[in-house]
Amino acid sequence: MGMTITEKILAAHTNRKRVEPGEFIEAKVDIALGNDITAPLAIEEFRKSGVKKVFDRSKVVLVPDHFTPNKDAPSAQQAKILRDFAKEQNLKYYFDVGRMGIEHALLPEQGIVGPGDLIIGADSHTCTYGALGAFSAGVGSTDLAAVMITGKLWFKVPETIRFIYRGKLNKWVSGKDLILYTIGDIGVDGALYKTMEFTGEAVSSLSMDSRFSMCNMAIEAGAKSGIIAPDKITLEYAKKHCSLFQPKADPPLADTVHCSLPTSDPDANYCEIREYDCSKIEPQVAFPHLPSNTKPVSEVGNIPLDQVVIGSCTNGRMEDLRIAAKVLKGRKIPSYIRLIIIPATQNIYLQAVKEGLTEIFLEAGGVVSTPTCGPCLGGHMGVLAEGEKALATTNRNFKGRMGHPKSEVYLSNPAVAAASAIKGRIAHPTEI
């Protein structure tokens, strides 16, 4: 019996030939990530252990991104804990305001994560990096502390569900819509502690930005991880963003060799296989208060909005901003609508300025923020009041997620979000 890509990566990090679903293993970790909410707790536990140095200064990454630039004195204190620890430990990868980006967009952009890696982060959306063909999963702060000390962590090898996406995507449909449609199908616990392996010709045609969006939301179906086998598109991305990346594959996909590119075996064992016809999928909207409460945009009805947010670790990348700008160009949003654009990293922000996208957003009546998680978790830069409705390209719409518990958050892709900002209600881009 063969192994899935997830099982191969976990086996490689235990120096074993194979692992089995349900088995408990201790695996070596390539990257351990913390942010300004979760890392202070991990640092506290690290200090309690009496250990003086992290296991590897180049493998512990700290990114203060949730409440930064600091919202208030308590958030400033949280960020200071990270800054002081990074200085003390001489960490190679610490990103403060001005260099900081939303962590799950920043790490791939900086070439810190890559195919075949095992990555843990004290943030649930660490599963994003599965788009590169890595096993990546969110963990608790104490788990992060354990990895900072030992470089290893215990895992239960997850079962894998294979999702096959057939056919060609319709216009305005992206990876965000595929994952919303999938979560709507299986529910928020439909992949509980399993790996969601995304395959099929529709996935193979996706850009890396769309793949990141897809894997990012695997956790919203309860999954331990999401993953897409690396291919030529993955390699081109890795070669562009990481000068040290020199991949190998059989058959070879590049001239240089250094890093393996795992794929699932033809006879790998899956606990379930699901297939979708993408020609039947249109842009999706998730209604309050669950990401699984999805409808095609054509069935949404008349839902007026107070705020639209385009950004986050799900949809704040260059492709997302370009799509939004394409819809918004030459148009104005109503005076009663707040449109907030948040580029996911400094580099994305700068590129948006160079391409004239920022000008389009401002002329349309929107505002552009420095990179931050901000309103996604009700942090700042767009908190909702009682009774307000927002459409966001973020990943969660739980009750009170973006502010007042009596507000409502709807989820969509950037094209639908931009069109909705113009119309003042949830709308299909073809309505513009």
Which amino acid makes up residue 160?
A: T
In angstroms, rounded to a whole number, what is the distance separating the alpha carbons of residues 11 and 18?
Answer: 5
Four-residue CA torsion sign, 431, 172, 170, 425: negative
> pLDDT by residue (tens digit) across 28-57?
999 999 999 999 999 999 999 999 999 999
Distance of CA 78 to the CA centre of its chain: 23
In angstroms, rounded to a whole number, what is the distance separating the alpha carbons of residues 234 and 207?
Answer: 9
Distance of CA 221 to the CA centre of its chain: 14
Residue found by looking up tokens 């931009």 in the block: 418
Mean pLDDT of 15-40: 96
What are the backbone dihedrals phi and psi of residue 65, each rounded to the nearest 5 degrees, phi first?
Answer: -135, -15
Long-range contacts of 46-52 (CB under 8 A, 24+ apart): 46/145, 46/148, 46/149, 49/145, 49/149, 51/149
H helices of 50-195, in order, are 73-89, 103-109, 141-150, 175-186
Q: Considering only CA atoms, give the Rg of the chain.
A: 21
Which amino acid makes up residue 182?
A: T
Using pLDDT thresholds of 50, 70 and 90, give the confidence band for residue 427: very high
* pLDDT exceeds 60 at position 247: no
0.85 exceeded by pTM: yes
In angstroms, rounded to a whole number, what is the distance separating the alpha carbons of residues 27 and 360?
Answer: 47
Cβ contacts of 255 within 8 Å, gap of 6 or more: none
In angstroms, rounded to a whole number, what is the distance separating the alpha carbons of residues 120 and 62?
Answer: 12
> pLDDT by residue (tens digit) across 160-199?
999 999 999 999 999 999 999 999 999 999 999 999 999 9
State the Cα torsion 313-271-250-213 to the nearest 10°: -10
Which residues belong to CATH 3.30.499.10 in the chain?
24-156, 286-425
CATH number of the domain located at residue range(s) 286-425 in this protein: 3.30.499.10
Question: Crossing angle, helix 357-364 and helix 346-354, to 10 degrees?
Answer: 80
Q: Which CATH superfamily is domain 24-156 in?
A: Aconitase, domain 3 (3.30.499.10)
Using pLDDT thresholds of 50, 70 and 90, give the confidence band for residue 260: low
